């Protein structure tokens, strides 16, 4: 039984497939219908990617912040920088815009010039009251609006950095969306159906260009761009792979069969996402085109083998049986290594990568199985390929290319090793120049209009990426203690001194504004009260914050008065700069807030993303090492030869090193999108090494241990498929450079570069290394018993059939 399974398993599989063609096609049809039905569960994600595990300390701190103050990323800012803004026509349109937005149920609060409040002293009730800054009945008077402009810029420092830039004259409004809908489809509905049309209406009425930003807006427009690219990638992948396939095979029916299989693979990939109830993210969006690019290589191997068999003996039944029995095991190994490359992402501890790795690895195996059964079944119903279908097998340019490869391997192995060594040195120097980087908006489309708006707010208001500092006073009502307020003010001064951060906002701002209001709005008194003033001024301030719907600072102190927050915004800076900023803040925090009396946490979306980037890069490096280890184990089982494993692994690590070196030379940083390249590229590139090694071991037994003859016969047969599949993969992954997302462009471009080097490494370096290590050993390697049995039986079968 064991011998039957080991030696005749693939022949047994071939028999089942070819004897049950209709049944198998019916099963595929039923499964396809079931998975298509699962599409109903597929939708776009409305949550931001969290790169850290849920139990990570940074995530826990951020969750605590959200539980205390609610969702922070609910701010949309609308900015304008135009001298015509303070004119009756523009103000009227602005007032109409803000009132339109305020009526939307999705809007929680708007702070804008048209209904801006100012603090005034109510001496009778000993409290501050909020009075309107602008008398709406006078806004048709141009001179009155200019007076308001001067008053805003000169007399209301409380709003500086929040609503205006005094130096440049730019203005912005803050629109706070309901926190409950920030991560729901209602956010998209508000942004696209309410906000964007209202903005366009204002611009059309005034001719003034408005700038819009903030995380809810950016995420919504980003998602819409991502949704549009899914169809682009699938269409481009199908077009480029089918075109190259046709140019190689010059067969419409072979191309049509392959495209149909790939379309089924795409349907199954979407169905798998729906089956697991996963949403479409920036990563899962590229799974369908990935399946197309990877799946076409299976079609190339199987159809090329079928046509080779037809050319050799012309027996269709034997050719179809051999397609499964001879190519089945090697393509299983190659698809397994590819799946391993993706599956290792599941160990990173990141939910986004876990979903991507799981679904992609499953579908790599699925498309392999589809190809393995569909190609022989479909061809069994078709006539035997004619001479014109087989002409590509003996094309001059392929023969010439393989002749050149064979000549170089035979006569110039020393040159190959010298070039290999030079590339390695070149790569090591480049790797030393690599940096780890990443930002929340760094991967976003640079050509998109909202990206230009981000740059506007970075220049005018020092960014839109929220950074939060939460202060736990460890006692109720501890925030309003004068000592706490002074410490917070000292920390805010440090924040203002850091050029990468915007002017901070907290309860301190209101306390300073309270003193200004107490002294009849004189801006010179915008400062903390003295010890003599603090009793009655803070009393006024406390009264002003009680039971007030218009409370300006209600989001900056919790209900118990124990927790306070300081909010600032950060420019789009790299990981290293962010670490420097965090270090400055932490040093100041440790100095002014005693640990026994205060617990201060630096958090916010920007910081969580930066920490996640560093964490993910380190974990993806580990996953790459794990992928190499797993693939080496798989090859160890197949070949039982340390020298063969060494030759295959070394050959395919070189392209990764070269790509790393190029990244260092060209200043491409290590970040989540670029580190993904290595596991994916290694899992794919080692496929060709396995195809060559499997054929070599087969021919070694067939040729009775003649190493050179086995190497060059294996090179001659697998060289065509290696060339075809590499070209398809190189151009297939290159379609991702059509993306508007920087991360997707880097992923596609770098994998294409890596696979280009891998193609030449597997055609030149691998055969040369095999010849060298076999020469050193002076003997044949020992194979695993199952592989020996399979290869020996196949060699005997070949001899009998040839006779």
**pLDDT tens-digit profile of 84-130?**
999 999 999 999 999 999 999 999 888 898 888 888 877 777 677 77
Cα radius of gyration (the chain): 33
Q: Got the DSSP string for 658-669? A: HHHHHHHHTTPP
Could you tell me which residue, 188 or 327, shows the higher pLDDT? 188
Q: What's the confidence (pLDDT) of residue 374? A: 93
- First-to-last alpha carbon distance for the chain, in angstroms, is 29
Question: With bands split at pLDDT 50, 70 and 90, how would you rate the model's confidence at 789?
Answer: low
**pLDDT(590) > 90:** yes
Q: How many residues does the structure list for the chain? A: 803
Q: What's the confidence (pLDDT) of residue 543? A: 58
Compute the distance between CA of residue 582 and CA of residue 559 in angstroms, rounded to an integer: 28
Which residue bears the tokens 């393509």? 331
Q: What's the confidence (pLDDT) of residue 800? A: 43
pLDDT tens per residue, range 426-454: 888 988 888 777 666 666 777 777 888 88
Average pLDDT over the chain, rounded to whole? 84
pLDDT tens per residue, range 315-345: 888 888 888 887 887 788 888 888 988 898 8
Q: How far, in Å, are 405, 536, 781 from residue 628 at the CA level?
A: 27, 70, 22
**pLDDT(803) > 50:** no
Compute the distance between CA of residue 632 and CA of residue 652 in angstroms, rounded to an integer: 12
pLDDT tens per residue, range 763-772: 999 999 888 8
Task: List, in sequence order, every residue forming a beta bridge with 470; answer none if it has no partner.
Answer: 565, 601
Q: What's the confidence (pLDDT) of residue 199? A: 94
Question: With bands split at pLDDT 50, 70 and 90, how would you rate the model's confidence at 490?
Answer: very high
Among 188-202, 235-249, 438-452, 613-627, name the one with the lowest average pLDDT. 438-452
Instruction: Look up residue 331 and give its two tokens.
Output: 């393509």
Strand order in the sheet with 465-472: 563-570, 465-472, 599-603
Burial group, residue 655, by CB count within 10 angstroms (0-12, 13-18, 19+): buried
Q: SS3 for 599-659, per residue?
A: EEEEECHHHHHHHHHHHHHHHHHHHHHHHHHHHHHHHHHHHCCHHHHHHHHHHHHHHHHHH
Kindly state the average pLDDT of the residues 560-568: 92
Could you tell me which residue, 559 or 5, shows the higher pLDDT? 559
* C-alpha of 591 from chain center: 38
Instruction: Look up residue 515 and give its two tokens.
Output: 């003193």
**pLDDT(1) > 60:** no
Q: What's the confidence (pLDDT) of residue 775? A: 67
Sequence-distant (≥ 6) Cβ neighbours of residue 38 within 8 angstroms: 270, 271, 272, 273, 274, 275
Question: With bands split at pLDDT 50, 70 and 90, how would you rate the model's confidence at 552?
Answer: low
Among 119-133, 252-266, 277-291, name the one with the lowest average pLDDT. 119-133
Query: Which percentage of the chain shows pLDDT scores above 90?
Result: 29
Question: With bands split at pLDDT 50, 70 and 90, how would you rate the model's confidence at 261?
Answer: very high
Could you tell me which residue, 291 or 636, shows the higher pLDDT? 291
Compute the distance between CA of residue 618 and CA of residue 628 in angstroms, rounded to an integer: 16
Compute the distance between CA of residue 691 and CA of residue 485 in angstroms, rounded to an integer: 70
Question: With bands split at pLDDT 50, 70 and 90, how would you rate the model's confidence at 786?
Answer: very low
Kindly state the average pLDDT of the residues 248-260: 87
Burial group, residue 473, by CB count within 10 angstroms (0-12, 13-18, 19+): buried
Sequence-distant (≥ 6) Cβ neighbours of residue 514 within 8 angstroms: 119, 128, 529, 537, 538, 540, 541, 544
Question: With bands split at pLDDT 50, 70 and 90, how would you rate the model's confidence at 504?
Answer: very high
Instruction: Look up residue 778 and give its two tokens.
Output: 């002076």
Q: Got the DSSP string for 503-561? A: --BSHHHHHHHHHHHHTTT-GGG-SPPPTTTHHHHHHHHHHHTSS-TT-TTTTTB-TTS
Query: Which percentage of the chain shows pLDDT scores above 70?
Result: 91
Kindly state the average pLDDT of the residues 790-794: 49
Contact yes or no for 637/694 (Cβ under 8 A) = no
Could you tell me which residue, 539 or 111, shows the higher pLDDT? 111
Coil, strand or helix at 583:
helix
Kindly state the average pLDDT of the residues 379-386: 83
Among 275-284, 385-394, 500-509, name the one with the lowest average pLDDT. 385-394
Dihedral angle, C-alpha 349, 350, 353, 359, nearest 10 °: 70
Sequence-distant (≥ 6) Cβ neighbours of residue 617 within 8 angstroms: 436, 438, 670, 671, 672, 675
Instruction: Look up residue 457 and give its two tokens.
Output: 């707010």
**pLDDT(52) > 90:** no
Of the candidates 702, 717, 707, the residue with the CA atom closest to the CA atom of residue 788:
702
**pLDDT(413) > 70:** yes
Compute the distance between CA of residue 279 and CA of residue 227 in angstroms, rounded to an integer: 12
Burial 545-572 (b: 16+ CB within 10 A, else e): beeeeeebbebbbbeebbbbbbbbbbbb
Question: With bands split at pLDDT 50, 70 and 90, how would you rate the model's confidence at 66?
Answer: confident
Kindly state the average pLDDT of the residues 55-59: 86
Could you tell me which residue, 270 or 116, shows the higher pLDDT? 270
Q: What's the confidence (pLDDT) of residue 779? A: 46
Q: What's the confidence (pLDDT) of residue 534? A: 72
Backbone angles phi, psi at 515, to 5 degrees: -65, -40
Sort strands 171-177 and 211-213 into parallel, antiparallel or unpaired: unpaired
Model-wide pTM > 0.85: no
Q: What's the confidence (pLDDT) of residue 96? A: 93
């Amino acid at each position: 039984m064991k011998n039957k399974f080991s030696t005749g398993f693939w022949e047994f599989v071939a028999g089942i497939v070819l004897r049950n063609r209709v049944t198998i096609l019916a099963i595929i049809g039923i499964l396809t219908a079931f998975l298509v039905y699962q599409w109903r569960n597929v939708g776009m994600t409305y949550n931001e990617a969290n790169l850290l595990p849920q139990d990570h300390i940074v995530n826990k701190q951020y969750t605590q912040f959200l539980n205390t103050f609610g969702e922070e990323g609910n701010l949309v800012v609308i900015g304008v920088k135009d001298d015509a803004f303070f004119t009756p026509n523009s103000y009227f349109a602005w007032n109409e815009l803000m009132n339109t937005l305020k009526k939307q149920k999705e809007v929680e609060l708007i702070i804008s010039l048209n209904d801006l409040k100012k603090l005034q002293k109510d001496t009778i009730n000993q409290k501050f009251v909020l009075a309107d800054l602008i008398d709406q009945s006078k806004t048709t008077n141009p001179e009155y609006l200019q007076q308001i402009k001067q008053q805003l810029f000169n007399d209301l420092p409380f709003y500086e950095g929040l609503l205006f830039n005094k130096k440049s004259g730019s203005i912005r409004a803050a629109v706070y969306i309901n926190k409950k809908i920030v991560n729901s489809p209602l956010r998209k509905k508000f942004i696209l159906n309410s906000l964007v049309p209202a903005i366009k209406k204002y611009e059309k009425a005034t001719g003034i260009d408005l700038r819009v930003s903030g995380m809810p807006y950016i995420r919504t427009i980003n998602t819409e761009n991502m949704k549009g690219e899914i169809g682009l990638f699938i269409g481009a992948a199908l077009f480029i792979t089918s075109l190259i396939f046709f140019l190689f095979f010059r067969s419409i029916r072979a191309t049509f069969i392959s495209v149909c299989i790939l379309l089924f693979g795409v349907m199954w990939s979407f169905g798998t996402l729906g089956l697991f109830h996963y949403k479409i993210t920036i990563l899962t969006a590229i799974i369908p085109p990935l399946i197309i690019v990877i799946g076409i290589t299976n079609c190339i191997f199987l159809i090329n083998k079928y046509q080779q068999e037809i050319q050799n003996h012309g027996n269709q039944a034997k050719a179809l049986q051999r397609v499964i029995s001879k190519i089945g095991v090697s393509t299983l190994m190659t698809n397994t290594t590819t799946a391993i490359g993706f599956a290792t992402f599941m160990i990173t501890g990141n939910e986004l990568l876990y979903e991507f790795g799981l679904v992609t690895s499953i579908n790599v195996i699925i498309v392999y199985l589809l190809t393995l059964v569909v190609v022989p079944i479909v061809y069994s119903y078709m006539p035997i390929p004619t001479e014109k279908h087989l002409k590509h097998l003996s094309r001059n340019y392929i023969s010439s290319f393989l002749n050149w490869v064979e000549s170089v391997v035979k006569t110039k192995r020393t040159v190959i090793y010298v070039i290999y060594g030079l590339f390695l040195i070149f790569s090591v120097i480049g790797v030393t120049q690599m940096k780890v980087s990443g930002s929340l908006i760094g991967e976003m489309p640079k050509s998109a209009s909202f990206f230009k708006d981000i740059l506007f707010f970075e220049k005018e208001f020092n960014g839109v990426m929220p950074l939060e500092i939460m202060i736990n006073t460890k006692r109720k009502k501890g925030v309003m203690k004068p000592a706490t307020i002074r410490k917070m003010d000292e920390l805010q001064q440090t924040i203002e001194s850091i050029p990468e951060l915007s002017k901070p906002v907290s309860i301190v701002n209101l306390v300073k504004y309270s003193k200004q209001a107490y002294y009849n709005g004189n801006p010179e008194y915008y400062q903390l009260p003295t010890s003599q003033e603090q009793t009655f001024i803070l009393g006024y301030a406390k009264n002003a914050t009680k039971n007030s719907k218009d409370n300006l600072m209600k989001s900056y102190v919790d209900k118990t008065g124990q927790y306070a927050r300081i909010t600032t915004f950060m420019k789009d800076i790299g990981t290293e700069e962010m670490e420097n900023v965090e270090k400055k803040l932490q040093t100041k925090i440790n100095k002014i807030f005693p640990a026994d009396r205060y617990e201060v946490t630096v958090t916010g979306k920007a910081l969580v993303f930066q920490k996640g980037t560093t964490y993910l890069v380190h974990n993806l490096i580990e996953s790459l090492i794990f992928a190499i280890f797993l693939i080496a184990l798989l090859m160890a089982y197949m070949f039982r030869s340390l020298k063969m494993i060494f030759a295959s692994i070394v050959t395919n690590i070189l392209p990764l090193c070269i790509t790393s070196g190029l990244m260092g030379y060209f200043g491409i940083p290590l970040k989540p999108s670029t580190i993904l390249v290595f596991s994916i590229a290694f899992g794919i590139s080692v496929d060709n090494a396995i195809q060559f090694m499997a054929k070599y071991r087969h021919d070694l037994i067939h040729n009775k241990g003649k190493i050179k003859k086995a190497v060059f016969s294996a090179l001659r047969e697998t060289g065509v498929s290696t060339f075809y599949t590499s070209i398809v993969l190189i151009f297939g992954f290159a379609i991702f450079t059509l993306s508007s997302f920087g991360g997707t462009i880097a992923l596609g471009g770098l994998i294409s570069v890596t696979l280009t080097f891998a193609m030449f490494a597997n055609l030149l370096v691998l055969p040369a290394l095999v010849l060298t290590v076999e020469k050193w050993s002076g003997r044949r390697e020992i194979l695993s018993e199952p592989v020996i049995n399979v290869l020996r039986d196949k060699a005997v079968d070949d001899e009998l059939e040839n006779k």
